[in-house]
């Protein structure tokens, strides 16, 4: 938290320094600007390294083939529920269900590089291909529903479920 505050203050200092550049440069413009820039760069680098260390430490055991398979299975189960519950549902209900599952997809999708590094391309692609296809189909269904075409969107949900079944069947 302290590092983040220093980063923000340094950025503000750099901005104040930059405001001093005009036809006549104010006396403290260069020191404020360069000092703020240097501190912003150093703290930004430190924040990034800290976040990378935290991410890798917390996800070391969470990037196995089994964990990816489980995450995709959970998403598949959610989509199966959506398929059952949205057949006679109104637009708002469909959007709410799709929002939930797309949030799950987004959270898993944000870790794609971690999984690729941990599993290697061959094992990664076995599951990710079906997952990525399903994610696109679900996003398409959300867009169709939001644009006022919920009946058309309902036809995308079974296609997404099939793609997720393919992903879960991967060994």
Residue of higher predicted confidence among 52 and 169: 169
Residue with tokens 């867009």: 143
% residues pLDDT > 90 (the chain): 43
Does 8 share its domain with 79? Answer: no
Residue carrying structure tokens 């989509």: 79
Q: SS3 for 22? A: coil
31-86 tens-digit pLDDT? 888 988 899 999 988 888 887 776 555 555 577 888 889 999 999 999 999 999 88
The tally of domains found in the chain comes to 2
User: What is the per-residue pLDDT for 61?
Assistant: 53
- CATH number of the CATH domain containing 132: 1.20.120.430
Does 80 share its domain with 150? Answer: yes
3-state secondary structure of 44: helix
């Amino acid at each position: 938290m302290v590092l983040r505050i220093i980063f923000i203050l340094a950025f503000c200092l750099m901005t104040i320094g930059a405001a001093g550049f005009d036809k006549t440069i104010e006396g403290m413009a260069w020191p404020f600007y360069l000092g703020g820039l240097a501190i912003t760069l150093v703290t930004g680098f430190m924040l990034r390294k800290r976040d990378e260390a935290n991410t890798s430490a917390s996800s070391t055991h969470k990037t196995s083939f089994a964990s990816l398979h489980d995450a995709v299975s959970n998403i598949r189960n959610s989509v199966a529920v959506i398929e059952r519950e949205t057949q006679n549902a109104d637009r708002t209900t469909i959007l709410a269900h799709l929002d939930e599952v797309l949030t799950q997809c987004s959270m898993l999708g944000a870790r794609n590089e971690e999984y690729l590094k941990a599993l290697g391309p061959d094992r990664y692609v076995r599951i990710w291909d079906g997952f990525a296809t399903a994610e696109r189909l679900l996003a398409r269904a959300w867009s169709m529903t939001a644009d006022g075409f919920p009946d058309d969107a309902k036809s995308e949900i079974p296609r997404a479920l099939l793609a997720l079944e393919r992903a879960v069947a991967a060994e």
